[in-house]
Every structure is written in structure tokens, then in C-alpha cells.
Structure 1
């Protein structure tokens, strides 16, 4: 995948495969293309630990993991990552209706400002995703 020697591990390759499955090739290609000497260690950790290990565990489905991530990213107010994980949730088969319900649930526990911000991100992401999927048909 990468010519960086530190990325030449089985766990990294396993993580890249899961990332591609959930987030899509374009997102992963952008992430890996943007790796620098400063960011390489973190990118390796995220890919191996999160995607190569945790996302591979059998107890939670990819849909359940995606739904949890939407809630947690709303709570953390991380709209950039939320956008990626909403797209991943849709790719994993989470319905638009469920994504909206997740945001409504977060309004009660995370506060309305966080939910409003996330809903804006969700609406934009779903609109972009619909266009992309429609263009692929």
C-alpha cells in the first residue's frame, strides 16, 4: 500500500482494507497521500489500532460501530470526522432515518448546540452522498 517501511505490517494492511470498506477509497487515498514525517506515527496508530484491531472485533457490527461514532463525534464536536463517519455509516447500510435519530438522541445528552451543529454536517453529508451515489448509477 505505502512505500513507507513503518507501514509495511499485516495489521496496517488489514486496517487499510477495513478503512476502505467503511470510508471508501477516495477518503483513504487522501488520508494516506497526506502523510508526512510529522503525521506518520499517528496515521499508523489509527490505521492499525482503530481499523486493524477494534473495527475487526466480532461483537459489534460495522453499523453499530458507525452509529456509536456518530454519537461520540457529536459529543466531542468533531464535525470533520463526523462527516467521514456519516458517509461510512451510509456505506455500512445505516439508514438516513437512523442517522437523524442518533442526532436527536444526542440533543438530549450532549446539548442542542452540539446536535444542531452535527445536524448541519449530517444534512450536507447526506446531500453530497446522494449526489455521489446517484452519479454512480
Structure 2
């Protein structure tokens, strides 16, 4: 497709494994394929590849924004990606603790619930 698409697919694979990379594209329908290709190219091939912030920092920023928006499903996906990008369980917890003040208790509790589910799946939480 393009250099940006290839870089994006490589990053999606590194962060989310085949389930979040190739399988997302393979499962795309005629209706959703343009969106999947655009996300791969623009989000992961461009925005995530910009200089200044490393992947770990981008993961923390992304999680914070997703918690603030109450996007539970995306918090789960990006918790998995954050772990792959070197974010520790303790750093995720502190991000969520900090979100209590700036996002409110309901958003933070939902973020904790979503992140805990993924951490448990990854064997990082009892």
C-alpha cells in the first residue's frame, strides 16, 4: 500500500499482536476496510511515529485521553498496547489514580475496571 501503511501495520502488530493488526484488516468488510486502512496508515503509521514522544509516553497519553472520554473498549485495547510499549502495571495504576481528580470518579472507576480486566488476561493481576 504505502510506507506509512507498512510502518503502521508493523506497529499495530508490535502493540496488539495479530489480533489487533492483520486480523483486524482481514475481518474488515467492504464497508469497514477504508477505516481500518486509514487507521493503520494515519494513526499508527503517522501519528504514533512522530518524533518527540516515545511509544511508552504515547501509550500513557492515549490511555489518559481514552479514560477522560469514557471509552472502555479502547482503554482495554490500549492497556494491552501500553504493556507492549513498556508501561508498567504501576504506571497504569498511577495514571488512573490521577484521572480521578481530572476526569471524575466514574470515569476513573471505569478505567480501572477496563485496565484490570486486561492486566488479569495478561497474567499481571490476580
- Report matched runs for 1:32-111 at 5 Å: 32-111=25-104
Shift of 1:52: 0.4
Deviations, residues 45-86 of structure 1 (Å, cap 9, x unaligned): 111111001111121010000001110010111111111110
User: How many residue pairs are counted as aligned between the two chains?
Assistant: 124
Distance 2:47 2:8 in 1: 9
Runs of at least 5 residues in structure 1 that lack an aligned partner in the other structure: 1-7, 132-137
Distance 2:64 2:47 in 1: 17
Runs of 4+ in 1 over 4 A off after TM superposition: none
Higher alpha-carbon Rg: 1
Is residue 96–residue 112 contact of structure 2 (8 Å, CA) maintained in 1? Answer: yes
Runs of at least 5 residues in structure 2 that lack an aligned partner in the other structure: none
Q: Indicate the RMSD between aligned Cα atoms, in angstroms.
A: 1.2
In the superposition, the TM-score normalised over structure 2's length comes to: 0.92
In the superposition, the TM-score normalised over structure 1's length comes to: 0.85
Query: Does the residue aligned with 1:85 lie in a helix, a strand or coil?
Result: helix
Say if 2:96 is the partner of 1:120.
no
Q: 1:24 aligns with which of 14, 17, 20?
A: 17
Distance 2:22 2:3 in 1: 18
